[in-house]
Amino acid sequence: MVSVESRYTVFPSEATPNAKLYSLCEQIKLPAHAPLLYVYKPHPDDDASTFVNTLRDSLSKALVMYYPLAGRLSWIEGARWELHCNAKGAQILEASCKEHNLDDLGDFVPTHLVSQLIPDIDYDVPIEDTPLLVAQLTRFPCGGVTLGVALCRGAIDGTATMRFMSTWAKLARKEILEMTPYHDRSVLNSYKDDSVSYDHSEFQTPPLWLGPLGGRDTNVVVALVKLTDEQVKKLKQKANNNNNSTNTTPRGYSTFEVIAGYLWRCVSKARYAGNSNQPTRLSTLVNCRNRMNPPLPSSYAGNTAFPTVTATCSFGEIMNRPLSYAVGNVRVGLERVTGEFVGSALCYIAKEKDMNRLRYNIHYPAPRVHKGPYKGNPNLFVVSWMNFSFKDADFGWGKPLYFGPGFMDSEGKAFVMNKANGDGFVVAIALETSHMDAFKKYFYTDIDQGFPISKL
């Protein structure tokens, strides 16, 4: 068990702008927090008991630069919100786990004990009282520590989060900062087109599960699966061999395209129960900073992660066609997100009268959005955390030996991350308990067996 022993509110160390920020992109996000877990091995030259003071002092300085994170969201008309930079502060929790050591956590699969290393956010209080940033320092008897960080998705995306964490860590190490964050949310809104010129299927109701759930165990379980560089190379060779595919590609498929397509195929096979006509699609997020014309500042500190989806396919198509079919659909979904597409999406969001409808469709079946009974999910949501600079989060305690999601409770969601040792990739994935064993079987055997055709 993890017990929280102290709780601190951390304010900016200097006066900050009292502004109200509004971004169309951020309206489609959940007002929930992304759970990040950093793990640090024992450091022989430092006293862990003073680490929390270092975190508090450096965070107070970081919040001067990243002052929106010390603010609060506030509801406005149409289930929208604005970010009020009112300097109400972030929070740091000090906790201990006296019954376990870091080695007991294995691969840090984000369930059970590991989830207790992430701050528990109370979503029953008004949104105006919910901190956008809460961090939890947990000490272990072995001398190691974990830093669980909860950052509101409605205020910041993954790219900006990594820059914020790097800034916080540099201040803790008393180093010179090189980049000033850019906070003007109106710069993204200015790209809005005059009309909706694209078919924004990403905002429409996703394919639903056909037929009954069949009494299966629909509880959600999380697993970490791994791919070596050599296995990814083999997947790329298979996907780029289009002899039996109608897909053509002017360049080789990217690592993310191949891994996402392969996951989609394996998940569809695991869920398959004779329902070859079951519709399915894959969703992901695209960082649009460099896709705009002109590009957004690289230091833009808001959320520019726009959703995109593949065309709706069937289980039969994903399972029985070559791997390049699934991978090619992923590529088309990614390449459709141009600057013009984003401008049309912003217009679509601006015209929407109730943002809860969009959030419901984008994030199904996220528990914090869907209060009703689970009705099954034939789709997959894959998020890339590849190439995130998590090793920059060195607060003077050394580089983290692990970084990943602290918990996952959305069925059909996966995170793709680089292995800490640099050889290959790790995928954290949440599926129904009744599907996980079959998924692991297909994930680890299909590469070596040459992707056998399923018999429908």
Amino acid at 431: L
Phi, psi angle pair for 202, to nearest 5°: -65, -20
What is the CB neighbour count within 10 angstroms for residue 292?
19
Task: For the chain of 456 residues, list the mean pLDDT of each consecutive stretch of 10.
Answer: 94 97 96 94 72 95 98 94 98 94 90 92 95 97 94 96 97 91 96 95 95 88 95 94 53 95 98 96 97 95 97 97 97 97 97 90 82 88 92 92 91 93 91 97 86 49
For 291-353, list the strands marked E by DSSP: 305-309, 313-314
Q: Where are the domains of the chain?
A: 3-189, 201-387+408-449
The predicted structure's pLDDT at residue 452: 54
Please name the residues in contact with 178: beta carbons below 8 A apart, sequence gap of 6 or more. Answer: none
Q: Which residues pair with 314 in a beta bridge?
A: 279
**What is d(CA 271, CA 187) in angstroms, rounded to the nearest whole number?**
43
Phi, psi (5° rounding) for residue 380? -135, 135
In whole angstroms, what is the distance from residue 125 CA to residue 136 CA? 20
pLDDT at 250: 66
Report the alpha-carbon distance of residue 211 to residue 230 in Å, rounded. Answer: 40
**Cα-Cα-Cα-Cα dihedral sign, residues 188, 191, 193, 194:** positive
Model pLDDT, residue 136:
98
Q: Is the pTM of this model over 0.85?
A: yes
Identify the helix (H) or strand (E) that includes residue 283: strand 282-287
Q: Are 17 and 96 in contact (CB under 8 A)?
A: no
pLDDT at 38: 96
Pairing state between β 413-418 and 425-432: antiparallel
At 372 the pLDDT is 76
pLDDT of residue 455: 44
Q: What is the pLDDT of residue 420?
A: 77
Side-chain half-sphere of 132: how many Cα atoms within 13 Å? 27
* CATH architecture of the domain with range 201-387+408-449: 2-Layer Sandwich (3.30)
Let me know: does 272 contact 454? Beta carbons within 8 Å: yes
How confident is the model at residue 243, as a pLDDT?
A: 40
In 310-375, beta strands by DSSP E: 313-314
Helix (H) or strand (E) holding 349: helix 339-351
Q: Are 184 and 409 in contact (CB under 8 A)?
A: no
* Per-residue pLDDT at 245: 43
Q: Are 58 and 4 in contact (CB under 8 A)?
A: no
Identify which of 429, 412, 405 has the alpha carbon closest to the alpha carbon of residue 39.
405
Tell how far CA 314 is from the center of its chain: 26
pLDDT at 246: 46
Q: Which CATH number fits domain 3-189: 3.30.559.10, 3.40.50.300, 3.30.43.10, 3.40.720.10?
A: 3.30.559.10
Alpha-carbon distances, residue 320 vs 170, 218, 244, 245, 317 (angstroms): 50, 26, 11, 11, 5
pLDDT in tens, 277-313: 999 999 999 999 999 999 999 999 999 999 999 999 9
CA distance 180 to 301: 10
201-387+408-449 shares the fold of 3-189: yes
Q: What letter does residue 421 receive in the DSSP assignment?
A: T
Return phi, psi of residue 428, to 5°. Answer: -95, 125
